[in-house]
Homo-oligomer: A and B are copies of this chain.
């Protein structure tokens, strides 16, 4: 998506080691108009998959997942990393390594909001190794839900996430695919 790629080139910072800083419009400060445009684009790309719910992980997935769900007219559930006191004792929980935190984090969803028969689109900010998304997939499958699509704002194709998710046989859509971050540059690949 051109608007997102332009913004990455203008304001994204390649911090080295494959870390792309997009804190000015996605991860800390958020540009709501850009997020709305991204959500509209995901909704367009996933219009035909018959989704009943969007699933994401707190924190950075919330903004694009919310706007996607808005444009699809369905609810969004964000997996929590800490169980709040309002959640029942029996939950779906999985462990996943966090790339940016350097440790294992929990992903928790209440069975109240993820049920058998649901058709789930997973939306997240980044597709890198795919570890977080694989965690969300385990939660959805444990709930008896079916994954019908995966969408990420930014894919780093050199980290192998797309290959790790290929076995699902569902459409994987990224709005900006980054092929290389060698040196100081950010080089986009062909659109997914």
Pick the contact of A23 from B19, B25, B31, B112 — CB < 8 Å?
B112
Bound complex: CA of A13 vs CA of B84, how far in Å? Answer: 14
Please tell me how many copies of the chain the complex holds: 2
The reply to whether A70 and B33 form a contact with Cβ atoms under 8 Å apart is yes
Chain A binding surface, main DSSP class: mixed
Bound complex: CA of A100 vs CA of B80, how far in Å? Answer: 14
The reply to whether A67 and B32 form a contact with Cβ atoms under 8 Å apart is yes
Contacts of A82 in B (CB 8 A): 101
The reply to whether B28 and A70 form a contact with Cβ atoms under 8 Å apart is no
Given A62-B59, A63-B66, A113-B33 contact (CB < 8 Å) = no
The smallest C-beta distance from A18 to any residue of chain B, in angstroms, reads 12
The reply to whether A77 and B113 form a contact with Cβ atoms under 8 Å apart is no
The smallest C-beta distance from A51 to any residue of chain B, in angstroms, reads 13
Residue of B nearest to A63 (CB): B66
Chain A residues packing against B (C-beta within 8 Å): 13, 15, 19, 21, 23-25, 27-33, 35-36, 58-59, 62-63, 66-67, 69-70, 73, 75-78, 80, 82, 84-87, 100-101, 109-110, 112-113
